[in-house]
Amino acid sequence: MFRSKSSYSVQSVDKALDILELLADESTDATLPHLSEKLGISRNKAFRLLATLESRGLVEREEHSGVYRVGLNTVGLAQRFIKGANLIKHAHPVMEELAKRHEEAIYLTVLLGEEVLFLDVVDGAQTVKTATLVGKKFPCLSNAPGKLIKALESSDLLEKFFKKGRRKMAPDDFARLESELGAIRKKGVAVDYDGLGEGIIDVAVAIKDYAGKVVGAITLLGPAFRLFAERIENEIAPSLLEGADMLSMKFGYAKI
């Protein structure tokens, strides 16, 4: 017997979301007693939920009045959702064209913290395919899009990344990484072997916005026996760069 989706809901999560909705709509001062009464829960439970939301920047509390308001991080979160949806809308037609041209899987990937999220895919027509990666996250240095985005980050962010990495990596490994990211930065294309699975190659190029900031990457994925070096260099990389340029123009980016 199947249960409705509501039967699987977690009460504390429901109440936390109720708090955010109340604070977004509330025209009166939302104090702890007021929110507790509105939600029908004890003040202690309301306080614990509010403290959790406050620690994530989703709720803010005025010290002098004890009034709770929606935190600034909710704005950033909303913008990320909107940007993600907008990115998929614009990217999908370009991805369809690339998948048709190369008959390989084309992914839209973005960086979340130190991980790469595979956001959308258009599958290729080949009979031998890899399992879909949509919704999955991987450490940024284990794949082409992550290395690409890291290589193209601002000098300040890249310097911080290298300082942090230098403490965690052996000198030889760090030198190789620094050299690899430098080569990627010059070419504008990243190629990774076996990072997403044995015998799998991924090729990534950057999508940029009006300010030249990398907002994501177009990533082609396929088996090594089809993605040999000459094909990547002469066919795939130029084609992906062309597609990424078209997509970047939709976000206001213009090459100087």
pLDDT of amino acid 1? 41
Whether 18 and 133 share a structural domain? no
Residue 75 has pLDDT above 80, yes or no: no
In the structure, what pLDDT confidence band is assigned to residue 24 with cuts at 50, 70 and 90?
confident
The number of distinct structural domains making up the chain is 2
Whether 67 and 92 share a structural domain? no
Residue 137 sits in a domain whose CATH number is 3.30.450.40
Residue 212 has pLDDT above 50, yes or no: yes
Residue 60 has pLDDT above 70, yes or no: yes
- Residue 229 inside a domain? The answer is yes
Whether 94 and 193 share a structural domain? yes
- Residue 55 inside a domain? The answer is yes
pLDDT of amino acid 105? 94
Residue 100 has pLDDT above 70, yes or no: yes
Least confident of 45-49, 65-69, 183-187, 245-249: 65-69
Last-in-domain residue among 52, 71, 90: 71
pLDDT of amino acid 120? 87
Rounded distance between C-alpha atoms, residue 178 and residue 203, angstroms: 19
Residue with tokens 């048709």: 100
Residue 6 has pLDDT above 80, yes or no: no
- Residue 26 inside a domain? The answer is yes
Whether 240 and 192 share a structural domain? yes
User: pLDDT averaged over the chain?
Assistant: 83
Whether 86 and 192 share a structural domain? yes
Least confident of 36-50, 114-128, 190-204: 114-128
Whether 103 and 195 share a structural domain? yes
Q: How far apart are the first and last CA of the chain?
A: 62
Residue 36 sits in a domain whose CATH number is 1.10.10.10
3-state secondary structure of 202: strand
Domain that holds residue 148: 80-250
- Residue 156 inside a domain? The answer is yes
Average pLDDT over residues 63-87: 70
- Residue 255 inside a domain? The answer is no
Whether 63 and 115 share a structural domain? no
Residue 166 has pLDDT above 60, yes or no: no
- Reported pTM: 0.65
pLDDT of amino acid 29? 72
Whether 205 and 91 share a structural domain? yes
Rounded distance between C-alpha atoms, residue 65 and residue 30, angstroms: 10
- Residue 256 inside a domain? The answer is no
Residue 83 has pLDDT above 60, yes or no: no
Whether 21 and 106 share a structural domain? no
Residue 65 has pLDDT above 60, yes or no: yes
DSSP label at 139?
A: E
Whether 67 and 168 share a structural domain? no
Whether 109 and 225 share a structural domain? yes
Whether 123 and 204 share a structural domain? yes
In the structure, what pLDDT confidence band is assigned to residue 131 with cuts at 50, 70 and 90?
confident
Give the number of other Cβ atoms within 10 Å of residue 232's Cβ.
18
Rounded distance between C-alpha atoms, residue 236 and residue 189, angstroms: 10
Task: Give the residue from 151, 249, 156 showing the smallest Cα distance to 209.
Answer: 249
